[in-house]
Amino acid sequence: MHQILDKKPVDILKILMGDSILDSYESQDNVDVAVIDRRNLLYAVGLIRDNPALDLRYLSFIAAIDYLETEKMFHVVYEFVNLDYDSRLRIRIQIPEKEPWVPSITSFYPSANWHEREMMEMFGIEVREHPDPRKLLLPDWVSEHPLRKSFPHGGEELWKFHQRTIEMFNEKSDYQGRTDDPWLERFIE
Amino acid sequence: MKTYAKKDVSRRVMTLNMGPQHPATHGVLRIELELEGETIVKATPIIGYLHTGVEKHSETKTYYQNIVMYDRLDYIAPAMNNMSYIGAVERLLGIEAPPRAKVIRVILLELSRIKSHLVWLATAAHDTGAMTVLLYCFREREAVMKLYESLSGARMMQSWICPGGLRGDIPDGWTTMIKAFLDEFPARIKEYRALLERNPIFLKRVKDIGYISREEAIAYGLSGPSARASGVNYDLRRNRPYEGYNDYDFEVPVLTDGCAYARYRVRMEEMIQARSIILQALEKLPNGPVRAEHPVFLAPPREGIHENMETLIKHFKFFTSGFKAPAGEVYFATETGKGELGFYIISDGSEKPYRVKIRAPSFSNLSILPRIAPGHMLSDIVAIIGSLDIVLGEIDR
């Protein structure tokens, strides 16, 4: 509850954004969730952070969820907090399977940087205009997305994945060709 | 014959890999440092060496089977991880622990906080050249481990907290053991302070090092003592009380200096506050059961399984196939020694969670390193990492 306006953040966001909020509901832990379109995400995040009535300057986490089997969708959840009043707001966006991209909110919240990198590698969701779109937890040569439901979690298929990974490592690792290392070339003219 | 360049060599930027085997990186963290002389120009943390796919495994196990896996995230203080996950599951299922269990949980959590801060103090002081403190801190840590051992038989991964309360009641004489430990603890803290706060080497290495402003701390998602040392007055125990923390009288130390020394002072003060919370908990410890009862969501009592066939079947089925949890989403976070550890659980109404997102405090706390490290000397990065108090188990997950 915001103490200045005596209103919940989701109600303030509804006043500010109107019909752009597709749906809103309360989760089991009594935090309001607003569902918006991803095209309005940057506008909404700008309001959430900079509007003095909301002022939710702390990003707690970003979580992606794979609903490909049932809805042909990814969902991405952002949780924002105002540390002074302890008001929380959760934003949920839906991404169709065929165009899996979201805009990057790292320019608003620097803490989103690593969360978005993790989302990119684990789910294969493209984060547009991310300042540093490298892999975070996985090695560079892994092309699969482990947290998708289609990725195996055991059995023969996972074994095949391991073998494929080892082959890719042997192909792509640069431990053999040290002669063309740009780092060494700096010292020799 | 190759000739070496006659350029000004001192202006060149050198790349140096620190870790993943470096002892000061507290696990398997690699930092790619770009150095100009001995000054850091750029620091890039490279993580993932300990990635075990915990979030993926969570989707293949039942709600009960997951508990023991999360002990291994922050292996310094496993009871905290249990509490975050079990708090989330309890809110999803709509069950509540009895009052006695809640008080014992608070004792376990605050002992974990003391243990976590002791390990931090030992390693951070060791990294900055104060070798003796390590041995002193591990002596007290051993005492806390003994307390855990006498409670559950396990020194570290006890998983004593479970949905609906605790796995069992405390043994006889356990409270006396805790009191004996807490009685001598203030004198021990005085010893650490005498060893560190009058040590000019330690002070020179941590004072005004790794400054984080309040705005930066909030923007980069810092939580816990690292954020409170920068003036962020936020503690989940006070702001979103769980397990009856609002009934305890304790202070949340907040400093505005924002340097490594401020983070040291905040954690030292937190240990004293944790001691005071445990003493209050011991005083108010009520009688009664330590486990709630529920026909579906909670484990049936073990007592009858040797006499009653029905109970045995029920027990077996509960732990192998689990129960159908109600559909929904829940996020629950607790204040651990490192910061805000939260579990975001999506349930689709089946026996296993559909998705578990672990919001690890060290993950966000480490992400500020590329921002604060440039401009410092190479030896300062050891003090900065030490003061942030990271544990790679929960960063890589």
Q: How far is C-alpha B60 from the chain's CA centre?
A: 25
Q: Are A130 and A163 within one domain?
A: no
Domain total of chain B: 2
| Residue of B355, B356, B362 to mutate when probing chain A, most A C-beta within 10 A | B355
Of A57-71, B19-33, B45-59, B64-78, give the lowest mean pLDDT range.
B19-33
Give the mean model confidence (pLDDT) for residues A42-70. Answer: 88
Q: Are A24 and A117 within one domain?
A: yes
ipTM, interface predicted TM-score of the complex? 0.87
Q: What DSSP string runs through B79-103?
A: HHHHHHHHHHHHHHHT----HHHHH
Q: Are A119 and A37 within one domain?
A: yes
Residue A188 in domain: yes
Residue A143 in domain: no
pLDDT digits (tens, 9 = 90+) for B289-340: 888 888 888 887 777 788 888 888 888 888 888 888 899 899 999 999 899 9
Q: Are B253 and B366 within one domain?
A: yes
pLDDT digits (tens, 9 = 90+) for B48-79: 888 888 999 899 889 988 998 998 888 888 89
Q: Is A47 helix (H, G, I), strand (E, B) or coil?
A: helix
The predicted pLDDT at position B8 comes to: 54
Provide the domain limits for residue A32: 4-137
| Residue of A45, A89, A114, A120 to mutate when probing chain B, most B C-beta within 10 A | A114
Provide the domain limits for residue B196: 54-395
Distance CA B112, CA B75 (A): 11
Q: Are B40 and B165 within one domain?
A: no
pLDDT digits (tens, 9 = 90+) for B255-272: 988 889 999 999 999 999
What is the CATH classification number for the domain harbouring B317?
A: 1.10.645.10
Beta bridge partners of A21: A36
The predicted pLDDT at position A1 comes to: 47
Q: Does B317 contact chain A (CB < 8 Å)?
A: no
Contact B367, B339 (CB under 8 A): no
Q: Are B111 and B241 within one domain?
A: yes
Residues A59, B396: C-beta atoms closer than 8 Å: no
pLDDT at A176 over 70: no
Residue A147 in domain: no
The predicted pLDDT at position A86 comes to: 83
Distance CA B157, CA B152 (A): 9
Note which residues in 338-367 of chain B have CB less than 8 A from chain A. Answer: 340, 342, 344, 346, 354-355, 357, 359, 363-364, 367
The predicted pLDDT at position B201 comes to: 87
Residues A86, B346: C-beta atoms closer than 8 Å: no
Find, in chain A, the residue whose alpha carbon is nearest to that of B46: A136
Distance CA B198, CA A120 (A): 48
Contact B67, B88 (CB under 8 A): no
Q: Are B39 and B60 within one domain?
A: no
Q: What percent of chain A has pLDDT over 90?
A: 27
Give the mean model confidence (pLDDT) for residues A163-189. Answer: 60
Q: Is B42 helix (H, G, I), strand (E, B) or coil?
A: strand
pLDDT at A73 over 50: yes
Q: Are A119 and A84 within one domain?
A: yes
Q: Are B341 and B370 within one domain?
A: yes
Q: Are A103 and A166 within one domain?
A: no
Note which residues in 230-249 of chain B have CB less than 8 A from chain A. Answer: 232-234, 239-240
- Looking up tokens 């790619």 gives B32
Q: Are B271 and B334 within one domain?
A: yes
Q: Are B324 and B261 within one domain?
A: yes
Could you say which of B2, B357, B396 has the minimum Cβ distance to residue A137? B396
User: How far off is chain B from A133, nearest CA to CA, in Å?
Assistant: 13
The predicted pLDDT at position A154 comes to: 78
Find, in chain A, the residue whose alpha carbon is nearest to that of B363: A114
pLDDT digits (tens, 9 = 90+) for B104-115: 999 999 999 999
Note which residues in 60-119 of chain A have CB less than 8 A from chain B. Answer: 60-61, 63, 65-66, 77, 79, 83, 86, 90, 109-111, 113-114
Note which residues in 211-230 of chain B have CB less than 8 A from chain A. Answer: 218-221
Q: Are A96 and A180 within one domain?
A: no
Question: Using 50, 70 and 90 to split pLDDT, how confident is the model at B393?
Answer: confident
Q: Are A21 and A98 within one domain?
A: yes
pLDDT digits (tens, 9 = 90+) for B114-150: 999 999 999 988 888 888 889 999 999 999 999 999 9
Residues A186, B12: C-beta atoms closer than 8 Å: yes
The predicted pLDDT at position A65 comes to: 92
Q: In chain B, what is the straight-line distance between the N-terminal and C-terminal CA atoms, in Å?
A: 51
Averaged pLDDT of chain B = 88
Distance CA B107, CA B177 (A): 13
pLDDT at B244 over 60: yes
Q: Is B78 helix (H, G, I), strand (E, B) or coil?
A: helix
Q: Are A186 and A97 within one domain?
A: no
Residues A153, B59: C-beta atoms closer than 8 Å: yes
The torsion angles phi and psi of A104, rounded to 5 degrees, stand at -80, 135
Q: Does A141 contact chain B (CB < 8 Å)?
A: no
User: How far off is chain B from A113, nearest CA to CA, in Å?
Assistant: 8
Among the three residues A137, A162, A177, which one is the final residue of a domain in this structure?
A137
Q: Are B129 and B258 within one domain?
A: yes
Give the mean model confidence (pLDDT) for residues A76-100. Answer: 90
SS3 content of chain B, % helix, strand, coil (to 5): 50, 10, 40
Question: Using 50, 70 and 90 to split pLDDT, how confident is the model at B1?
Answer: very low
The predicted pLDDT at position A8 comes to: 83
Distance CA B324, CA B351 (A): 5
pLDDT at B7 over 90: no
- Looking up tokens 């079947």 gives B313
Residue A72 in domain: yes
Q: What percent of chain B has pLDDT over 70?
A: 97
Q: Are A126 and A164 within one domain?
A: no
Here the tokens at position B358 are 């672990």
Give the mean model confidence (pLDDT) for residues B227-251. Answer: 90
Give the count of beta carbons closer than 10 Å to the beta carbon of residue A180: 8
The predicted pLDDT at position A182 comes to: 55
Q: Are A79 and A131 within one domain?
A: yes
Here the tokens at position A183 are 């780092």
The torsion angles phi and psi of B344, rounded to 5 degrees, stand at -105, 110
Q: Are B36 and B74 within one domain?
A: no
Q: Are B11 and B58 within one domain?
A: no
Give the mean model confidence (pLDDT) for residues A76-82. Answer: 92
Domain total of chain A: 2
Question: Using 50, 70 and 90 to split pLDDT, how confident is the model at A183?
Answer: low
pLDDT digits (tens, 9 = 90+) for B179-238: 999 999 999 999 899 888 888 888 888 888 889 999 999 999 999 999 999 999 999 998
Q: Are B141 and B14 within one domain?
A: no
Q: Does A161 contact chain B (CB < 8 Å)?
A: no
The predicted pLDDT at position A189 comes to: 47
In b/e form, how buried is each residue of B21-49, taking b as 16+ CB within 10 angstroms? Answer: ebebbbbbbbbebebeeeebeebebbbbb
pLDDT digits (tens, 9 = 90+) for A98-145: 889 999 999 999 999 999 999 999 998 999 889 988 888 888 777 888
Q: Are A71 and A161 within one domain?
A: no
Residues B56, A139: C-beta atoms closer than 8 Å: no
User: How far off is chain B from A165, nearest CA to CA, in Å?
Assistant: 15
The predicted pLDDT at position A23 comes to: 86
Considering only CB atoms, which chain B residues are within 8 Å of A117? none
Q: How far is C-alpha B294 from the chain's CA centre?
A: 30
Could you say which of B94, B240, B330 has the minimum Cβ distance to residue A86? B240
Q: Are A123 and A56 within one domain?
A: yes
Considering only CB atoms, which chain B residues are within 8 Å of A123? none
Q: Are B21 and B115 within one domain?
A: no
pLDDT digits (tens, 9 = 90+) for B332-381: 999 998 999 999 999 998 889 999 999 999 999 999 999 999 988 888 88
In b/e form, how buried is each residue of B325-355, taking b as 16+ CB within 10 angstroms? Answer: beebbbbbbbbbbbbbbbbbbbbeeeebbbb
